[in-house]
A and B are shown apart, each in its own frame.
Chain A
Amino acid sequence: MKLSEKELEIVELLEKHARLPIDTMAKMVSLSVSEVEHIIKKLEEAKVIVQYATIVDWRKVDGHEGVTAMIDVKVTPKRGVGFDEVAERIYRFPEVKSVYLMSGAYDLSVVIEGRSMSEIAHFVSEKLSTLDSVISTTTHFILKKYKHDGTVFEQGDQDRRIVVAP
């Protein structure tokens, strides 16, 4: 099914924020409320919009952890900062959902979500393996989603801008 630009925009907005009020959304995409309602109904009937799901941060709920790909990473710790520095370097990538320091055969466990296997492969080969401290990586694919279309579980950073600027 080919969507118009407006339809696509509405789907993307709903995917990020399913509870966005229709009148606000109508203004954002420059359509009337009834036009937006009509589009949503049509997309629901066509099963383009399958379900309005709530993204839950299950990490906050005991016993409900889930991942897409888990990468075992061996690293060399640095004097003074230990594993923290390389861990931070890795967890700042938005596609990385979590980073754990592990006991046992490897050091860091990295959970990452990508659109495809090749995207994850690209991450591992281009971003992760190339870090100086990283000695080796082992990637396991698993089936639980962690981030939906750009919605990051962590709280966004506070606004650090000055109040008035030219």
Chain B
Amino acid sequence: MQKTKTYVSDTVSRLQPSGIRRFFDLAASMEGVISLGVGEPDFITPWSVREACILSLEQGYTSYTANAGLWELRKEISDYLARRFEVLYDPANEIIVTVGASQALDVSLRAILNPGDEVIVVEPSFVSYAPLVALAGGVPISIQTSGKHQFKLQPEQIEQVVTPKTKALIICSPNNPTGTVLNREELAQIARIVAKHDLLVISDEIYAELCYDEQYTSFPAIAHMRERTILINGFSKGFAMTGWRLGFIAAPKDLATAMLKIHQYTMMCAPTMAQYAAIEALQNGAGDVEEMKKSYRQRRNFFVQSLNEIGLSCHMPGGAFYAFPSIQSTGMTSEKFAERLLLEEKVAVVPGHVFGASGEGYIRCSYASSLEQLQEAIRRMKRFLERL
């Protein structure tokens, strides 16, 4: 008998494929493209880290680790969080090593959501938040931040969308795609609203190492927030380790215990070889991170100033490696602008609307490319704008 129905669940059927995909296909089919569309460092993982992984393989460390991750790595993570961000987590039962920050988000949401619970997503945002909420049975509720506020979440915006069903708020600072950093005072204001409504905060701090102008504040370092925060971080961005797929969760014991149940049944543990590499990264990688950060900062300064000079208004992003200039002066939609820029000048950028409705009128440009490529991209974009 022929099959007469789809076997795909309603939840998955309703999910939209990522808007980035279309541009990837188009750009990948062209020659000579300068891509400012890449959401990852242009550095290769430091050799000492790669070498530590090779050594672990040679020594035959190829079996599972503890579900939560190697004890030595969890201890290093605990020390790192205390040293760099002044937040304290017990490596014995408050830290879980995950397969990238992405899995950390997935596990976090599945651990906290009952069907119909609402999760506030601050847009423009990383493309996975809302789909992950939906997959976990929750309902994503978006807040649209505005270019007028440099895309900083205004605390009263939380009040406007909070309902009795609101369970959690996802924040990401420094932000992908806007590069915006929330400082201690701004986080403290958010904390007051969060406490008032008894919300949990999932703080995605994957870009924390790449914060250029001021001391970074981790959300659980704000008074009384540790008990209601799931801290997510990892090695991908700061340590240039995207392909290793290694992240971690730090959370109070009750939450970590719940998340570990899911992690144990779905993932068993993060890849062992990557965990050994991560130990080396935390023990000896600070100098490499500092060098990479300095290089990003210089390229940011060059690129953002150049964008403003050629007529694309752009706020100075405090962190990550993204510039998020406005293209409203051209009268085009983000999609049209990105498509024409790619076809006519072979510069790939990501149209802002794929990160949320408030991203319309903006494009995301990654400046994690060589200075020469950035200079050439600016020349091409200038030519493009002058022709319009």
Which residues of A come within 8 Å of B, CB atoms? Answer: 9, 13, 24, 27-30, 89, 92-94, 132, 150, 157, 159, 161-166
Contacts and interface: CB of A to CB of B under 8 A. Distances in A.
A162 B37 CA distance: 9
A33 to B, nearest CB: 12
A162 B28 contact: yes
Nearest to A132: B58
B108 to A, nearest CB: 18
A166 B39 contact: yes
B252 to A, nearest CB: 29
Q: How large is the interface on B (under 10, 10 to 19, 20 to 34, 35 or more residues)?
A: 35 or more
Interface stretch (B40-48, B71-79, B156-164): B40-48
Given A93-B51, A162-B24, 9 more contacts: A28-B302, A29-B298, A30-B305, A162-B38, A163-B24, A165-B24, A165-B39, A166-B18, A166-B39
Nearest to A31: B301
Nearest to B349: A164
Contacts, number: 68
A157 B39 contact: no
Given A27-B306, A92-B47, A166 B128 contact: yes
B100 to A, nearest CB: 12
B37 A165 contact: yes
B51 to A, nearest CB: 7
A18 B37 CA distance: 30
Interface of B: 18, 20, 23-24, 27-28, 33, 35, 37-40, 42, 44, 47, 51, 54, 58, 126-128, 176, 291, 294, 298-299, 301-302, 305-306, 348, 350, 369, 371, 375
A34 B291 CA distance: 27
Contact of B35 (A89, A132, A157, A164): A164
Nearest to A92: B47
Secondary structure type dominating chain A contacts: loop
Contacts of A13: 298
A159 B41 CA distance: 10
B320 to A, nearest CB: 13
Contact of A28 (B38, B298, B348): B298
Most buried by B among A28, A157, A159: A28
Given A13-B298, A27-B301, A162-B38, A92 B44 contact: no
24 contacts: A9-B298, A24-B375, A27-B302, A27-B306, A28-B299, A28-B301, A29-B301, A30-B301, A89-B51, A92-B51, A93-B51, A94-B47, A159-B42, A162-B28, A163-B33, A163-B37, A163-B348, A164-B28, A164-B37, A165-B20, A165-B39, A165-B40, A166-B20, A166-B39
Contacts of A165: 20, 24, 37-40
Contacts of A27: 301-302, 305-306
B24 A164 contact: yes
B38 A24 contact: no
Contact of A161 (B40, B301, B302): B40
Nearest to B19: A166
Contacts of A93: 47, 51
Contacts of A150: 291
